[in-house]
Amino acid sequence: MAHKTLFNTREVAQFLNINEKMVYSLIADKGLPATKATGKWLFPRHLVEQWLENQTINYPKTADPLLAHQGLMVIAGSNDILLDHTISLFNQLYPDHVAVFGNLGSLGGIRALRRNLCHIASSHLLQEDEQEYNFGFAQEELGRIPGVINFCRREQGLIVPKGNPNQIEGVADLGARGMRMVNRALGTGTRLLLDSELTRVGLQGPEIEGYDREVARHLDVGVEVLSGRTHAGPGIRAVAGLLDLDFIPLRWERFDFLILKERFFDKVLQRFLGLLSEPPFHRLAQELEGYDLQSCGKMVFPVEPDHP
């Protein structure tokens, strides 16, 4: 039996083991992912599964904290070209330390931080208000707000072939007949942004050819477009610049480092964060398109909502 990508109301009720009437309450009160593009409620299975996991409380904690053993520092989470270059620069400048990266996606990085599998989580998860990033997801996963340091702002959009031969203007054009895309994995901030934009224009991802074809990195998206195997894919402007491709901008986003407060002053972490204010790092960023370092290295705090 094929794995269904969309539940109807009865099926999602069976999946969650609840009465059908409760489904509507979960939509309104708990943010159960749903769409009414067809006139009837439909529920993308992958988003329902992600929502269900995010409702889990009392995750078991790892007993032993991760140690910066002999200067080793682990960063896990969202992939970024400037971050890759920064890690290489750090290892070059500080040979008594080693920084390594685990490409787990933003949500995977926060979960690795929860399990003490990394020292820094890199994340750019856009919250429901479409203004704030990361704090709500960190609160859900960690049960507390970690220290949040901005790494950069970067421009997200659609990577398309040079000259944009298919005249793509935005995500709505991904639904055109014959259009073929490539995607990033579930749990990445890029995928979350794309799904949000598709919902805004009334498109269901599984309706688009290639939506379920996932690649691990932004650069992989660019290579798929450059090769002609796909017409478009979500990614950052830096990739389009490196590969001489065209880029359809969607929004500037905040890309942050999340650090548990009890680890914040570890020597290796402070050396890495200190590098963000040094000229060699800023020269790296100047060689790439689509980055803004105005808040780089600064502590970020949740914006309090305005009260009437």
In tens digits, what is the pLDDT along the chain, a chain of 308 residues?
345 688 899 998 999 989 888 888 888 877 888 887 667 888 888 888 877 876 665 555 544 555 545 689 999 999 999 999 999 999 999 999 999 999 999 999 999 999 999 999 999 999 988 889 999 999 988 888 999 999 999 999 999 999 999 999 999 999 999 999 999 998 899 999 999 999 999 998 988 999 999 999 999 999 999 999 999 999 999 999 999 999 999 999 999 999 999 888 888 999 999 999 999 999 999 999 999 999 999 999 987 655 44
Amino acid 186: pLDDT: 87
What's the rounded Cα separation, in Å, for the pair 100 and 70?
A: 13
Say whether both 194 and 216 belong to one domain.
Answer: yes
Same-domain status, 220 and 263: no
- The per-residue pLDDT for 307 is 45
Residues 228 and 262 in one domain: no
Domain-embedded: residue 299: no
Same domain, 114 and 258: yes
Q: What is the pLDDT of residue 184?
A: 96
Q: Please name every residue paired with 88 in a beta bridge, in sequence order, or none if there are none.
A: none
* One domain, residues 131 and 164: no
CATH number of residue 160's parent domain: 3.40.190.10
Q: Are residues 208 and 264 in the same domain?
A: no
SS3 for 49?
helix
φ, ψ at 196 (rounded to 5°): -65, -45
Same-domain check for residues 78 and 128: yes
* C-alpha distance across the termini of the chain, in Å: 53
Considering only CA atoms, give the Rg of the chain.
20
- Do 8 and 41 touch, CB atoms closer than 8 A? yes
Residue 247 lies in a domain: yes
Regarding whether 192 and 83 lie in a shared domain, the answer is: no
- The confidence score (pLDDT) of residue 278 equals 96
In a domain, 303, yes or no: no
Q: Can you list the positions of beta strands (E) in 86-137? A: 98-103, 120-123
Residues 261 and 123 in one domain: yes
On whether both 189 and 210 belong to a single domain, the answer is: yes
Q: Which residue range is the domain that position 29 belongs to? A: 6-54
Counting the structural domains of the chain, the total is 3
